[in-house]
Amino acid sequence: MTESEAFLECRCGACRITLCDPTVRFHIECLCFDCRQRGLISASKNPGNSLPDAVANFERGVDLVYFANALTVDEASRELLEFSKLRADAFNTTMMSTCCGTLLCGTHPLYEGTTISVNTDSCLVTTSSNMSLQVVVFACDIPDEHAAPLVRRSTVPVIFSFSEEFESPAIKEFMSAVTAPVSASASATATTNFEKLCAAKPLTIDNAYFIESRAGKP
C-alpha cells in the first residue's frame, strides 16, 4: 500500500472502493433511528454484522466518517454494489455490498454531491488520515435514560435535534466539511462517484426493521 492509498472494503473482502482523497473530512457519532435501522438491516444479511454492543445498548452512536465523493471501483466490485433507501421519500441513499451485507457508504442531499458518509462499525476503512470524534448527533432518538448519562460522559458536544441546533458551532463545522468541493487532484484521478455508481443500478426501497429500530423510544 502506498502512503496515500485509501479504500473502503466490505467485511468479506470481495468488494473494494478506492477513495481518491484519503482525507477524513469529519467524524461524528449518530444516534438516529435511521442509522440504527440500516444497521439492523445489515445485521439481518450476515451473522457477523450485528450492531456493536455499545450501539445496541445506546451507549454510543454509530461511528461515521466522511470522505470526498471521488472514487474508483473495478468491475468485479461494481457487480456487488446495491443501492437502497429506507423509504421512497427518505433523504439518505445507502450503498451496500451484496456479498456480505456491509454498509459501504451513503449520501444525503445536504452534502451537495461532494461527500460520502462511511459507517466504520460496518465498513472496513483503510486510510492514513485520522480525525478525532467532533460531535454526537440525534440524541433525541434514544431513550431519555440513556441520553442523560451519554451527555454527562461525552467529551464532545451532544446535539439532540439536528434541525433545531443547525446554528450550533459543531453543526456549522460539519456542514462546512461535508459541502467542501472535491479537490482538483482527487477529481483528476477519480473515475466515478456515488451518484454515477447509483445511476447504473436499480434503487431498492427497504424499510425492514422500522419498528425494531424505534422500539427503544416508541
Which stretches of the chain bind Zn ion, using CB under 5 A? 10, 12, 14, 30, 32, 35, 97, 99-100
The CB-of-29 to Zn ion minimum distance in angstroms stands at 9
Q: Which long-range contacts (CB under 8 A, 24 or more apart) does 204-208 make?
A: 204/82, 204/83, 204/84, 204/85, 205/84, 205/85, 205/86, 205/87, 205/88, 206/41, 206/84, 206/85, 206/86, 207/37, 207/86, 207/87, 208/37, 208/40, 208/41, 208/44
Minimum distance from residue 36 beta carbon to Zn ion (Å): 8
**Are the C-beta atoms of residues 26 and 174 closer than 8 Å to each other?**
yes
Q: How far is the CB of 62 from Zn ion (least distance, A)?
A: 6
Could you tell me the smallest distance in angstroms from the CB atom of residue 102 to Zn ion? Answer: 6
Q: Closer to Zn ion by CB, 97 or 107: give it.
A: 97
For Zn ion, the closer of residues 14 and 180 by Cβ is: 14
Of 133 and 189, nearer to Zn ion (C-beta) is 133
Distances in Å between the Cα of 8 and the Cα atoms of 12, 71, 73, 135 are: 12, 10, 10, 23
CA pseudo-torsion sign 133, 138, 143, 144: positive
- Least distance (Å) between residue 185 CB and Zn ion: 29
Q: Least distance from C-beta 194 to Zn ion, angstroms? A: 17
- Residue closest to 68 by CA, chosen among 189, 195, 186: 186
Residue with Cβ nearer Zn ion (6 or 140)? 140
Our CB check for Zn ion shows the closer of 49 and 114 to be 49
Give yes or no for a contact between 107 and 116, defined as CB atoms under 8 angstroms apart. Answer: yes
Q: Which of 32, 4, 30, 6 is nearest to 119 (CA)?
A: 30
Q: How far is the CB of 214 from Zn ion (least distance, A)?
A: 13
Residue 100 or 103 having the CB closest to Zn ion:
100
Q: Given the complex with Zn ion, which of 12 and 56 has the nearer CB atom?
A: 12
Q: Which residues of 65-80 are buried (b: 16+ CB within 10 A; e: fewer)?
A: bbbbbbbbbeeebeeb
